[in-house]
Amino acid sequence: MKIAFLTSGGNAPCLFASIGRLLHNYSNLDSIELIGYRNGFSGLLKGESEIFLLSNFSNSNFEAYYDFGGSPIGNSRVKLTNRQDCIDRKLIQEGEDPLEIAANQLMNDKVDILHTIGGDDTNTTAKDLCSFIKSNGLDITIVGIPKTIDNDIFPVKRSLGAYTAAEAGARYFSNIVNENNMSSSHLIIHEIMGRNSGWLAAKTADYYCNIAEEKKQKIKIADSLAFYNPKRFDIHGLYIPETLVSFDDEIDRLQRIIKDIGCINIFVSEGAFIKEISRQVESDGSLIDKDAFGHIKLDSINTGKWLSDIISKDIEIDRVLIQKSGYFSRSSAPNKSDLDYIFKVCDFAFDNALKSNSGVVGEDERTGELSCIDFNEIRGDKGLDINSKWFLDLVSRIEN
């Protein structure tokens, strides 16, 4: 039996570990071959793969996989139904069908099981490939594993690596926040990844609030620091795509804060104001870059800069600092909680792959059970539930 892996989309703190756990499971079987396609679907189209030699594996080898972020076989963003993009990127020739090329490559490589580790774009692309394979009577099982730091895949309750990314982003800001001592009127904007979901920004804020509380308690018990206002560690604004912001009211509120403590600390999801920024960019006659899946390339939007301009226009700021924790967070190795969850999901994926069950393995939020979810039920851009208790508690902590 031959098993193949590919990782696709952006980095997340689960890719190395997921492959390691799957390799661990498959290594216990007899007559197994294992390969990884380089750089996701790009490598599948080009027939570029690496061989995992079972003779090189021992328990200590598998342990090493759990200590790294990123992917050992690389990622890319390729949509197999976007033929023109595949042609433009020289992945296929004119007149060729990417789905057919990918399916033929799997057949030529004699792959029995393909594991696609990625987000909604990866697994909806896996759905298209799975449908093509079935319609052509081919016998290849495709089992997807949900990876995205945005935690925005429906109906998956928890994406692998998301909690680690949030925790890492909080640790990142726990250092950055000390920069607000560099002037008497300071604005720090912490821009966090997330296109249409504010989950990562909110969960990062949630983790950070715990860190801030520890710092504030230490300040309070230090008699010689009685002059220092512990509110300088607080988050003074959280902006996410799921909530509306009235800047007339918000500017007045932020003005009072900076007058009181001399700084403003803002957490913002990079997709929070995407409609407003897009309209402004287009009104200036500029084009907005989009990827193969039709998503706006958020690096070209620069949400933090746009927000700082809005705030600075009406509030006198001596120093503005815009920091993006995304690449730091998504490239982290998984924390203990995520690693335990990775093992749980990958073990279940392994079992379903051996039963020839294609789909995306994850905890189905509709049933609360770990399931092999039909590819056709997977979709992206699941928004944050702003009525959930943990989020309402977070808002209360920020407001108080």
Q: Any residues with CB less than 8 A from the CB of 200 and at least 6 apart, and which? A: 149, 150, 151, 162, 165, 166, 169, 192, 193, 194, 269, 329
Measure the CA–CA gap between 289 and 293, rounded to whole angstroms: 11
Active-site option among 112, 120, 121, 150: 150
Contact 166, 209 (CB under 8 A): no
User: Based on the number of CB atoms within 10 Å of its own CB, is 271 exposed (0-12), middle (13-18) or buried (19 or more)?
Assistant: buried
Could you confirm whether 309 is annotated as catalytic? no
CA 262, distance to chain mean position in Å, is 33
Residue 144, strand partner residues:
116, 360
Give the CA angle between residues 341, 342, 345 to the nearest 5°. Answer: 85
Q: Distance (Å, rounded) from C-alpha 312 to C-alpha 27?
A: 58
Both tokens of residue 317? 């700021």
The first and second tokens of residue 57, run together, are 């594996």
Rounded CA separation 287/380 (Å): 25
Contact 62, 24 (CB under 8 A): yes
Cis ω for the linkage preceding 155 (within 30 of 0):
yes
Task: Classify strands 113-118 and 263-269 as parallel, antiparallel or unpaired.
Answer: unpaired
Instruction: Please report the beta strands in 270-329, taking only residues with DSSP state E, as ranges in sequence order.
Output: 319-324
Of 264, 273, 200, 276, nearest to 235 by C-alpha is: 264
- Comparing CA positions, the residue from 348, 378, 356 lying closest to residue 366 is 378
Active site residues: 150
